[in-house]
Structure formats: C-alpha cells, structure tokens
Structure 1
Amino acid sequence: MCGRFALFSPYPALSRALRLPLAPGKVIPRYNVAPGTWITGVRHPDEPAPLVMDDLWWGYRPHWARETSPEPINATVEKVATSPYFRGAFAHHRCLIPADGWYEWRPAEGGKQPYFLCRRDREPVWLAGIWSERPDGKPGCAILTEPARGVAREIHGRMPVVLDAESLAPWLDPRVTERETLRGAVHHLAAEALTHWPVSHRVNRPVNDEPSLIAPAAG
C-alpha cells in the first residue's frame, strides 16, 4: 500500500521533471504526508482545462457516493479499471502525485521498522492516481498500488505505482480512456532505480514533520 510519503522538491524542480506545460504553482515541503490531508497533485481539472499542480484531498469518495461510502486512500491496479467505484475516474480523471519517496513498514522483532523508499538518484517519483469531485465539491484522490517489485518486495507486499518519465503525458491525457490503450502507453519506473533504508520510528506520528525523518536510522 501507500499510506505515507514525503515531498520536498521545490516547484521548479518538479516542473522540469514533469516536462509538460504546467500552470505556475508552489509546493510546501513536507516530510510526513499522511492520509486525510491536502496533498499536491497534477491533473486536468476539467477538459480542456490546462494541466495544473494543485491540492487534492487524500481520500477518494466520488460526488455520487453516499456519506457512509468508503473513502479509500489507495486503489489497486487489479480492480481500478473495472470497479464501479473507481472506473469512471480511471477513464477520465487520472492524476499524478509527486513525491521524493514513500514510507513502508516491515515486521521486525519488537514491532514494525519504518523504511524510506526512493529513487537511487534522488530524483522525484511520480505516483499514479485517480481523482474525483467529492460530495463537498472539492477534489479527492487515491494512489494506485501494485504488487511490490525489486527491492520494495523486501519491505512490503505492495507499493505505489511509480511511472517512468515517458508515461507521464499519456497517463494524464484525458483523451485516452481505454484500459488497453493505457497499458500500451504507460510503463513503470524500472525496479532497479529504487533503493531504501530504515528510518526513525518518529515517522510513525504524523505530527512529526522535518527533514530528519528521512535520515538513515542509527544503528
């Protein structure tokens, strides 16, 4: 799954990495982004609106859903295109969530050990997501997950869907709506590009939010 991540790269760096025309924006550095908060996303608000980097609520509940409907933070690649809850957003409202890395927890003696996973070259990663207008009229999102690949398998059974640079444009293209077309145009970042290390248990508390959280744990 993907339940916590960090984003501290400045807006200009993200804009350059995206390599797509993007309306001006800004990013507030965060080192412990938790669900149920506003997060940075890249999307087309409404076709043919230009691409923007704005705030999305991390919790997906489409406007037509009941108040008691679930508010998932993740959607699995196995079901996102076919589930009645997600398929409309998958076809028409895909987004990207920029991150510098994400956290995952591995069972260990005495409790779970948190790890930080990121690119070996420390460039930002782009997480595939979907969004929908929520019942309150504001946009909410979920991050797609898949079975873990490469070194990520050492930590957890699942991981966010991380896209390579050539896949960002087709993933965001509102004209692409068919699942098979997307499969042919979108590719994952190579598993060999990822690395990880253990970090402090202080990340367990979302109130803790500072650069030291991504530092390798002592000992």
Structure 2
Amino acid sequence: MCGRFSQFSAYPRLAKRLRVSMDADAPPPRYNIPPGTWIAGVRKSAHDAPPVQLNFWWGYRPKWAKGKAAQPINARVETVATSGYFKHAFARARCIVPADGWYEWLATVSGKQPHYLTRIDREPIAFAGIYAEREDGSLGCAILTEPARGSAAEVHDRMPLILDDASLEPWLDPDLTDRETIRAVVRHIDAGVIEHWPVSRAVNRPGNDEDAGLINPA
C-alpha cells in the first residue's frame, strides 16, 4: 500500500520535466504526508492542454457516492479499470502525484519498524493516481498500488505504481480512455532502482511532517 510519503524536492523537478503550468506556488517541503490531507498533484483537462498543478484531497470519494461511502487512499491496479467505484476515473481522470519516497512498516519482534523507500539515484518519483470530484466540488484522489517488486517486497507486499518517464504524458492524457491501450503504453519503473532503510519511529506521528530528519537511517 502507500499510506505515507514525502514530497520535498521532487515536485519542482518533475513539474519542469512535464512543463507544468503552475496555478499556485510550488508546495512546501513535506516529509511525512498522511492521508486525509491536501496533496499536490498534476493533471490535464484535455489532450492539448498543458499539465497543471492542483491540490487533491488524499481520499477518493466521487460526489455520486455521497454519505458515508468509502474514501480509499489507494486503488489496486488489478481491479481499478473494472471496479464500479474507480473505472470512470481510470478511463478519464488520471493524475500524477510527485514524491521523493514513501514509508512502509515492517513487522519485527520489537514491533513495527518504519522503512523509507526511494530511488537509488534520488530522481523524482511519479505515483500514478486517479481522481474524482467530491460532493463539495473539490477533487479527491487515490494512489494506485501494485504487488511489491524488488527490494520493496522485503518490507511490504504492496507498493505504489511508479510511472517511468515515457509513461508520464500518456497517463495524463484524458483522451486516452481504452483500458487495453492504457495498459499497453503505461509502464512502471524497474524495481532495481528502489532501495530502503529503517527510519525513526517518529514518523508514526502523522502530524510530524516538517522534520527533514525523518528520512534519515535510524
């Protein structure tokens, strides 16, 4: 799964690569982003429109769902294209969430130990996401996850779907709606570029979001 992540340097670098039209200032550095908060992401409103920066509520609940309907933070790649809850967003409302890395918790004899996962080369990470308009008119999103690969599988059985560079533009293209075509042109990064290390349990506190030391090896 992906339940916490960091976004401190990746956004401006990935935004420049995507030629993003900035509707607001670059987001401030965050080192421990929890669900149920506003997160910075990128989407396109039309095929020929430039990508734009938007804030998404990390919690996906389409306005038609209403009430106490589920508000998932993740969507599984295995079912996102066919689930009644997600399939419209998968076809027409895809986004990218820039990140520097993410956290997972490994069960140990002394309790759950948080680990930080990131690219070995420290290049920006592009999480694949989907979004929908919420009842209040804002946009809520979920990050796609897939079975863990490479060293990420040492920590958890799921990991976020991280797009390779060639997949960024087609993933954002709202005119690309056919499920099989999307799957044919969108690829995840090679698992060999991911590494991880244990970090302080201070990351367990969701409000602890501004401490750059959270990602340091414990």
Q: Same-fold call, TM > 0.5? A: yes
Residue by residue over 1:110-146, the C-alpha shift from the partner in whole angstroms, topping out at 9 and shown as x without a partner, is 2100000000001110000000000111000000001
Number of equivalences: 215
2:96 alignment partner in structure 1: 96
Which 5+ residue runs of structure 1 have no aligned equivalent? none
8 A contact 2:131–2:142 mirrored in 1: yes
* 1:21 is aligned to 2:22: no
- Superimposed CA distance per residue, residues 162-206 of structure 1 (whole angstroms, 9 cap, x where no aligned partner): 010110001001111011101110110000011100000000001
Q: Which runs of 5+ in 2 are unaligned?
A: none
Tell me which residue corresponds to 1:213.
214
Give distance in 2, aligned partners of 1:89 and 1:122.
30
Q: Percent identity?
A: 59
Q: Offset at 1:51?
A: 1.4
- 1:99/1:185 Cα in 2 relative to 1: closer, same or farther (>3 Å)? same
Length-normalised TM-score, structure 2: 0.95
Distance 1:84 1:96, change over 3 A: same
Amino acid at match of 2:106: R
Taking only aligned residues, the RMSD between alpha carbons, in angstroms, comes to 1.3
Matched, 1:150 2:189: no
Contact 2:10 2:100 in 1 (8 A): no
The one-letter code of the counterpart of 1:188 is: H
Q: 3-state SS of the aligned residue for 1:162?
A: coil
Q: Distance in 1 between matches of 2:70 and 2:199?
A: 31
Number of the residue aligned with 2:198: 198
Q: Give the match's secondary structure for 1:54.
A: strand
Q: Deviations over 1:95-120 (max 9, x none)?
A: 00100000000000121000000000
Counting only pairs closer than 5 Å after superposition, residues 30-45 of structure 1 correspond to structure 2 as: 30-45=30-45
The residue correspondences of 1:132-171 to structure 2 (distance < 5 A) are 132-171=132-171
SS of 2:14 mapped into structure 1: helix
Residue 73 of structure 1: aligned partner: 73
AA aligned opposite 1:158: R
* Residues in 2 aligned to 1:175 and 1:147: alpha-carbon distance in whole angstroms: 28
Structure-2 separation of matches of 1:141 and 1:11: 17
Q: Secondary structure at the match of 1:152?
A: helix
SS in 1 for 2:67: coil
For residue 85 of structure 1, what is the aligned residue in structure 2? 85
Aligned residues of 2:47 and 2:175 also touching (Cα < 8 A)? no
